[in-house]
Structure 1
Amino acid sequence: MDTQNLAAFVAAAEYGSFSRAAEALELTQPAVSKRISGLEDRIGARLFDRVGRRVALTEAGETLLPRARALLVMVDDTRRALDSLSHDVTGRLTLATSHHVGLHRLPAVLRAFTRHYPAAGLDLRFLDSEQAYQGVLDGALELAVVTLAPTPDPALSVVPVWVDDLRFVCGPEHPLAGAGRIDLATLGRHEGVLPGSRTFTRGLIEERFARAGVTPTIALATNYLETLKMMASIGLGWSVLPETLLDGTLHVIDVDEPPIRRPLGYLYHRSRTLSNAARAMIAELETVRTADTRT
């Protein structure tokens, strides 16, 4: 099968749209449609049902999708293995990062990488950490730099680089700002604004409350820490945020608990051959990790 046709099929399946798949592949929508039609003709089955502006996989499409992903990973893995023989750091690295890590931890690493390896391309994708984990597992991503899962999948190689100390915070005019030293039970009686329920960070927060036998009151949730900062600063509730986000718009609540520690780092699939560009990026990350360990 033509790998370009398979790539168009996988992209359309993941985005649920031919137009969005075309944007991701830097093609026109007719070109994506033509490739998928060619694949359908090749296998003799319809792969998508067109429902309005979206497309949904047929039974044949559902059957083909995991096999198409596996084939593309195998082809990509072979290409990287051959490219690595030259030892030149070229090609395109598909790297995912979360918004917070990408904005507050990764810029210096990316600056060093682009300066040291100008011939290497970078396909940088901003995703929730949980999505990035799955992307590395599925083979869609070669490397991710994100919040690390409490229990990582054994198929992944996971390396901590930084640690975020998370602090309980509220707006300066919130009742908790003048409460003095409090415990989690007192905090839990006030409404909080926290990361989404399925995020690694939310899991760390809930684990801390569970150990104290407390169920927090959650008013609002979002996966974007900068949005949580804004909501806490204007008094919509207390929150838990990394020290890197603290400034004069927030009050650090004196909670009778040590900071929640959140590991950040990189991960890749153990069974995948890394490109020279990925190895070079890991070397830059290791430089940062070693420097942080020494300090």
Structure 2
Amino acid sequence: MDTQSLQAFIAVADTASFSLAGERLHLTQPAISKRIAALEAQTDAKLFDRINRRVSLTEAGRLLLPQARRILQLVEESRRQLHDLSGQVAGSLTLATSHHVGLHRLPPVLKAYTRRYPGVDLDLRFLDSEQAYQGVVSGAIELAVVTLAPRPNPQVESVPVWTDHLRFVAAPEHPLAGASRISLGELARHPAVLPGPLTFTRDIVVDAFSRSGLTIGVALSTNYLETLKMMAGIGLGWSVLPESMIDDEVTVLAVEHPPLLRRLGYLVHRERTLSNAGRAMLAQLESMRADLVETPDRA
């Protein structure tokens, strides 16, 4: 089996589309079809069913998929280790980050890194934090800088770099905006706009209410904090935002509860051998972390 055919196979399996797989790999759809046909000939098995333009894995395809991922990971690990013998910080680094962290926390780190290591080909992927976790666990992503899970995966080393202090906010004209003291119970009686279900930030908020025996009525959800701010600001419900995002578009509610803390940092698989480029990125993040210890971050 050649690695190019395996890459095409994984891309089609992930996207359920030959055309989207071609876009991911910068190939034409006929080229993708040719590689899949070659792999099916090599394995003597049909890997995909195509019914009414819907592409799905066959039983043989489902069996091959985890093995294909493992093979490509081993090939990449071997290539990286051979390259790293030189000690140079070069090659490629697959780095995942969430939109909020990537826009508000990571730029100075990336700026310093790319200036210091111009030979690194940075494959930067914007994903939800939960997706990035899965990418690190599966081996598809070498390093992620995201919101850390409240309950970490034991396969993953998660190291906090920043702390977001989340505050309860609402539109200036919200019924609770002028109150001097608001209990969680009072807040729970009003609709909320929060990140989507199964997100780490949503878990943090829901857990705070659950410990008091309360449930939240969520009117709308989105995983983009900038959109949550807009929805709260126009009166669609109360929300939570990092202090760094709060301005005159929203009002901080006087809720009788300490600010909720959200840890942001980096993830690596405990059993993965990092590339020189990956180790250099960790050093850059650790330098940022050390600076923040000396100058506590409240943003």
TM-score higher than 0.5 here? yes
Shift of 1:272: 1.4
Within 5 Å, which residues of 2 pair with 1:231-250?
231-250=231-250
Shift of 1:54: 3.9
Q: Distance in 2 between matches of 1:287 and 1:25?
A: 35
SS at match of 2:202: helix
Q: Distance in 2 between matches of 1:53 and 1:264?
A: 41
In the alignment, what sits opposite 2:222? 222
In the alignment, what sits opposite 2:35? 35
In the alignment, what sits opposite 2:184? 184
Shift of 1:135: 0.6
Within 5 Å, which residues of 2 pair with 1:60-75?
60-75=60-75
1:94-145 CA-to-partner distances (Å, cap 9, x unmatched) read: 1110000000000111101110011111111110000000011111111100
Within 5 Å, which residues of 2 pair with 1:271-282?
271-282=271-282
Q: Which amino acid aligns with 1:266?
A: Y
Q: Which amino acid aligns with 1:196?
A: G
Q: Which amino acid aligns with 2:294?
A: R
Instruction: Provide structure 1 residue ranges, at least 5 long, that are not aligned to the other structure.
Output: none
SS at match of 2:192: strand
Within 5 Å, which residues of 2 pair with 1:1-295?
1-295=1-295
The structure 1 segments of at least 4 consecutive aligned residues displaced by more than 3 Å after TM superposition are 51-54
Shift of 1:211: 1.1
Q: Distance in 2 between matches of 1:107 and 1:29?
A: 35
1:10-57 CA-to-partner distances (Å, cap 9, x unmatched) read: 111111111221122122222111111100111111111124444111
Q: Distance in 2 between matches of 1:166 and 1:50?
A: 47
Shift of 1:179: 2.2
Shift of 1:264: 0.5
Shift of 1:181: 1.2
SS at match of 1:178: coil
Shift of 1:273: 1.4
Report the count of equivalent residues.
295
Question: Between the two proteins, what is the percent identity of the paired residues?
Answer: 63
Contact 1:80 1:273 in 2 (8 A): no
Q: Distance in 2 between matches of 1:70 and 1:18?
A: 22
Q: Which amino acid aligns with 1:50?
A: R
Q: Distance in 2 between matches of 1:266 and 1:20?
A: 30
SS at match of 2:145: strand
- Using structure 1 for the length normalisation, give the TM-score: 0.98
Q: Distance in 1 between matches of 2:132 and 2:145?
A: 8
Q: Distance in 2 between matches of 1:182 and 1:161?
A: 31
Q: Which amino acid aligns with 1:118?
A: P
Instruction: Provide structure 2 residue ranges, at least 5 long, that are not aligned to the other structure.
Output: none
SS at match of 2:177: helix
1:208-228 CA-to-partner distances (Å, cap 9, x unmatched) read: 001111111111111111111
Q: Distance in 2 between matches of 1:51 and 1:102?
A: 39
Shift of 1:180: 2.2
SS at match of 1:167: strand
Q: Distance in 2 between matches of 1:81 and 1:154?
A: 25
- Please, what is the CA RMSD of the aligned residues? 1.0
Q: Distance in 1 between matches of 2:255 and 2:155?
A: 38
Q: Distance in 2 between matches of 1:277 and 1:52?
A: 44
Q: Distance in 2 between matches of 1:98 and 1:273?
A: 23
SS at match of 2:85: helix
Q: Distance in 2 between matches of 1:25 and 1:264?
A: 31
Contact 1:104 1:244 in 2 (8 A): no
- Using structure 2 for the length normalisation, give the TM-score: 0.96
SS at match of 2:152: coil
Shift of 1:253: 0.4
